[in-house]
Amino acid sequence: MTAFERLLSAVGRLPGVGRRSAERIALRLVRDRDGLLSDLIAALVAAKEGLCGCSLCGSVTAVDRNPCRLCSDPSRDAGMLCVVEEPDDITLIERSGVFHGRYHALLGKISPMKGEGPGDLRLKSLVSRIEKEGCKEVLLALSTDVEGDTTAGFIQELLKGREIRVTRLAFGLPAGSGVRYSDPVTLGKAIQGRQQV
Host domain of residue 152: 77-168
| Cβ-Cβ contacts under 8 Å for 187 (sequence gap 6 or more) | 173, 179
pLDDT digits (tens, 9 = 90+) for 25-79: 999 999 987 788 899 999 999 999 999 999 999 999 999 999 999 999 999 999 9
Residue 85 lies in a domain: yes
Burial 79-112 (b: 16+ CB within 10 A, else e): ebbbbbbbbebbeebeeeeebebbbbbbebbbbe
Residue 192 lies in a domain: no
Residue 149 lies in a domain: yes
Residue 131 lies in a domain: yes
Maximum distance among all Cα pairs of the chain, rounded to whole angstroms: 65
Is 190 a residue whose pLDDT tops 90?
A: no
Residue 56 lies in a domain: no
Is 183 a residue whose pLDDT tops 90?
A: no
Residue 100 lies in a domain: yes
pLDDT digits (tens, 9 = 90+) for 90-139: 999 999 899 999 999 999 999 999 899 999 999 999 999 999 999 999 99
Residue 127 lies in a domain: yes
Residue 180 lies in a domain: no
CATH number of the CATH domain containing 131:
3.40.1360.10
- Amino acid identity of residue 59, one-letter, is S
User: What is the number of domains present in the chain?
Assistant: 1
